[in-house]
């Protein structure tokens, strides 16, 4: 099967560019490279594609602007450098895209924007509205204010979240490497580029052991995780070299560039994708083997299968579900608070009202609000 058959009709595309693609060795922005990137994206947009750009480079740009040779080590310093770099990066994008008569919109996001369902839906609606108008959203994590508890972590993951947010057909991740190799090409001359990955398993993840570049945060492993995320929501993903921005249109035109990760045939629903990847951890529910089998078989979580609770949370909170071995197997929206579950755990559903004095639902977590990881 060739690329065209695998990718199908393409309409909505997310393009993620890493710091290594946008900056020179000293951290300064590579204006010539960015101009080529903007030209390729503008060409796609002019040809009727809806395009979102997920860009790294704020910290790298700030480092160059401030003439720093090493990446900032403290959170406060990183935030300050990002605040400087974000202005330079956005101003440059605006000027360059305007030369191709394209309008951009800036989106600065954190994990909190994905975790909160209302903010998530608002970001989705705004993004789709911008795309409908032919405007190119330029997305980056809000590094100037982000802290660990609201941090997505890296822009590879962010791009996969954005792909799910807008139901993208294709996610292109441009990096400082041509794609996934069977071994590290920086160490082994006989390393071979893998053109196609149909399933992401542990062997694929083991191939991705290379570290990131000097100014970036994401290595190949984060890209594999992004691919795992994107393919579950029904988005094909290609990792390719950003040294040649022309690769963007080559990929869209079905040329054999980079590594293609094929979307899953069993696409999970948007809400379940949000549950799996967009939400923060707010509590843990440990279950027995019987409840684990029931969930894997597509059933809801009943109170009788709950063994213990960790953390304090309210009704309507997204929580993790762990099996008897302590492995996270699912996430879901709880129908009861942690205090209530502690009271009803181990009881049958028809006993909840007698034990608790009232009953919201027969299930601790309904299958419609639960996703297996």
Tens of pLDDT along 78-89? 888 888 888 888
Q: Which helix (H) or strand (E) holds 319?
A: strand 318-322
Do residue 25 and residue 174 come from a single domain? yes
Q: CA triplet 340, 344, 349: central angle to 5 degrees?
A: 120
Q: Is 223 annotated as a binding residue?
A: yes
Q: Is 176 annotated as a binding residue?
A: yes
Asked if pLDDT for residue 191 goes beyond 50, the answer is yes
pLDDT value at position 309? 95
- Domain span at residue 317 reads 281-372
- Stretch 340-364: mean pLDDT, rounded? 94
Do residue 194 and residue 302 come from a single domain? no
Asked if pLDDT for residue 98 goes beyond 60, the answer is yes
Q: Is 217 annotated as a binding residue?
A: yes
CA distance 11 to 48: 8
- How sure is the predictor about 23, in pLDDT bands with cuts at 50, 70 and 90? confident
Please, which residues bridge with residue 301 across strands? 365
Q: Is 219 annotated as a binding residue?
A: yes
CA distance 310 to 334: 13
Q: What is the largest CA-CA distance in the chain?
A: 71
Residue 145 sits in a domain of what CATH number? 3.40.1160.10
Residue 351 sits in a domain of what CATH number? 2.30.130.10
Domains held by the chain: number: 2
Q: Are strands 236-241 and 284-287 parallel, antiparallel or unpaired?
A: unpaired
> Per residue in 300-322, pLDDT tens?
999 999 999 999 999 988 899 99
Final residue before a domain boundary, out of 272, 300, 329: 272
Q: Is 155 annotated as a binding residue?
A: yes
CA distance 359 to 343: 12
Which of 206, 156, 145, 144 lies closest to 181, judged by CA? Answer: 206
Q: Is 23 annotated as a binding residue?
A: no
**Which whole-number Å values give the CA distances from 127 to 43, 122, 174, 246, in the listed order?**
20, 8, 22, 25
Asked if pLDDT for residue 1 goes beyond 80, the answer is no
Do residue 180 and residue 329 come from a single domain? no
Do residue 81 and residue 135 come from a single domain? yes
CA distance 186 to 191: 9
Q: Is 195 annotated as a binding residue?
A: no
CA 118 to chain centre: 18
Q: What is the DSSP string of 44-103?
A: HHHTT-EEEEEE--HHHHHHHHTT-SS---SHHHHHHHHHHHHHHHHHHHHHHHHTTT--
CB 185 within 8 A of CB 209: no
- How sure is the predictor about 215, in pLDDT bands with cuts at 50, 70 and 90? very low
- Stretch 209-223: mean pLDDT, rounded? 57
CA distance 75 to 67: 18
CB 198 within 8 A of CB 237: no
In the chain, the percentage of residues whose pLDDT exceeds 90 is 51
Q: Is 221 annotated as a binding residue?
A: yes
Do residue 311 and residue 222 come from a single domain? no
Do residue 250 and residue 150 come from a single domain? yes
Q: Is 297 annotated as a binding residue?
A: no
Over the chain, what is the mean pLDDT? Answer: 87
Asked if pLDDT for residue 3 goes beyond 60, the answer is yes
Do residue 254 and residue 293 come from a single domain? no
């Amino acid at each position: 099967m060739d690329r065209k058959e695998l990718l199908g009709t393409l309409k909505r595309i997310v393009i993620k560019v890493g710091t290594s693609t946008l900056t020179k060795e000293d951290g300064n922005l590579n204006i010539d490279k960015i101009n080529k990137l903007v030209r390729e994206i503008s060409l796609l947009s002019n040809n009727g594609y809806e395009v979102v750009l997920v860009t790294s480079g704020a910290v790298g740009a700030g480092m160059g602007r401030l003439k720093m040779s090493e990446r900032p080590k403290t959170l406060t310093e990183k935030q300050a450098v990002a605040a400087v770099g974000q202005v330079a990066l956005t101003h440059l994008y605006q000027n360059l895209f305007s030369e191709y008569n394209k309008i951009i919109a800036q989106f600065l996001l954190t994990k909190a924007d994905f975790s909160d369902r209302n903010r998530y839906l608002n970001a989705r609606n705004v993004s789709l509205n911008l795309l409908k108008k032919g405007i190119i959203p330029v997305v980056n994590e809000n590094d100037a204010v982000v802290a660990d508890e609201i941090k997505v972590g890296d822009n590879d993951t962010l791009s996969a979240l954005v792909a799910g947010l807008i139901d993208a057909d294709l996610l292109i991740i441009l990096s400082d490497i041509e794609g996934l190799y069977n071994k590290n090409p920086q160490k082994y001359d006989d390393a071979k580029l893998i053109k196609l990955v149909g399933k992401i398993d542990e062997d694929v993840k083991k191939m991705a052991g290379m570290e990131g570049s000097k100014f970036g945060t994401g290595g190949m492993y984060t890209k594999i995780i992004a691919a795992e995320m994107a393919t579950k929501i029904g988005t094909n993903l290609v990792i390719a070299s950003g040294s040649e921005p022309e690769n963007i249109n080559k990929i869209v035109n079905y040329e054999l560039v980079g590594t293609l990760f094929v979307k899953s045939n069993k696409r999970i629903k948007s809400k379940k994708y949000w549950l799996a990847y967009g939400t923060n951890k707010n509590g843990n529910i440990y279950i027995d083997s019987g409840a684990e089998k029931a969930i894997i078989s597509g059933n809801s979580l009943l109170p009788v299968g709950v063994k213990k609770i960790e953390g304090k949370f309210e009704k309507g909170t997204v929580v993790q579900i762990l099996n008897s071995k302590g492995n996270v197997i699912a996430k879901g929206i709880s129908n009861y608070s942690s205090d209530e579950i502690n009271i009803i755990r181990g009881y049958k559903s028809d006993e909840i009202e007698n034990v608790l004095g009232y009953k919201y639902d027969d299930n601790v977590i309904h299958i419609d609000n639960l996703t297996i990881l």
